[in-house]
Amino acid sequence: MPKSLQQLFNDFIYECRFSNRRRPETIRGYKAAFALFSKLVPNLTADALTPYAFAQFCERLQTRVRVVGNREVRQGVKDSTVASYQRKLTTFFGWLVRNGHIERNPLDAMPRIVPKYEGVKMLRKGEVERIRAAIETHSRNLLQLKRDRAMVAVLLLCGLRKGELLGLKITDLDLEKRILVVRSDATKSKLPRKLPLNDQICLILEDYITERRRKSRITTPYLFVSLKRDGGLTVDGITRWVMRIRTSSGVRFHLHQFRHTFASNLAAQGVSAVQLQKLMGHSDLRMLQAYVRSLDAEDLRPAVSTLTFDSLT
């Protein structure tokens, strides 16, 4: 009896986890995409995977009504969301082809969805100040206050991804040498990188670590701890953290905007593309384009203000 599509997906995830050593965050994305695909287009078999089935999925994505946040009702999704599902599902469909379960990937016949990113993605100074003020005002205790200060500092001044932030361990931090190590098992490229730390972030991190050490119950090796248990902050925990800060600050931000802000500000200050690529941990220089698209003319003014006829080399 042939395996069901769910059983085949379980085999795919097993290989991703143990043979291909995919990051937990990547596997989580595959699972979420397949779970929603199976929910909106139920009872599919491998033979029934066609471009039409994916079109049905996209239609139901666009027409379903869902409740998010504080009971806010929404309908429809952005092009970037559909593109994300397309990327994740095509990886699984490609695995089905390679293992002889289907003859061809149903998404190969479809054009790749390239979303148009419009609007400002970086956080402006006033928004960052409101986020920081909310942390100062609404923290319930010193550990939460100093942890949240340190998290914002690392996100904004180091440009880490969510998975990289959650994967940080105490041993990745060397305040004496002012270096933060992002280990290979936490990065998308699977390449480690070392990030220099400035004086401001070192002071904030040292203050947090001192407070953390005062709590004898905390033994986890992870740098950013849960306030409810002896363990590192989880994906669900950081999601709740974002929602809490959004509510208290009034700034409708998402976590990745800190990374955009890091890259955009360094680019505006004249940091070279090669240096920025190294700091961001990108394997391809072209990936930087997505992070600097929100720079406007005023952001770029300092970079050209010193260029005169006399300054030409």
Average pLDDT value for residue range 14-22: 90
Residues 184-228: tens digit of each pLDDT? 888 877 788 999 999 999 999 999 999 999 998 899 999 999 999
- All residues at 6 or more sequence positions from 214 whose CB lies less than 8 Å from its CB, including other chains: none
The domain ranges of the chain are: 5-98, 125-300
Q: Collect contacts of 128-133 with beta carbons under 8 A, ≥24 apart.
A: 128/152, 128/156, 128/261, 130/249, 130/250, 130/251, 131/245, 131/249, 131/251, 131/253, 133/249
Q: In what order do the strands lie in the sheet with 179-182?
A: 173-174, 179-182, 193-196
Give the residue-averaged pLDDT of 12-24. Answer: 90
- Per-residue b or e along 262-287, where b marks 16 or more CB atoms closer than 10 Å to that residue's CB: bbbbbbbeeeeeeebbebbbbeeeee
pLDDT on residue 172: 97
Q: In angstroms, rounded to a whole number, what is the distance separating the alpha carbons of residues 307 and 74?
A: 49
Read off the pLDDT band of 91 (50, 70, 90).
very high
Which pair of structure tokens corresponds to residue 65? 């009504």
CATH top class, domain 125-300: mainly alpha
pTM for the structure as a whole: 0.75
Among 162, 158, 151, 160, CA closest to 26? 162
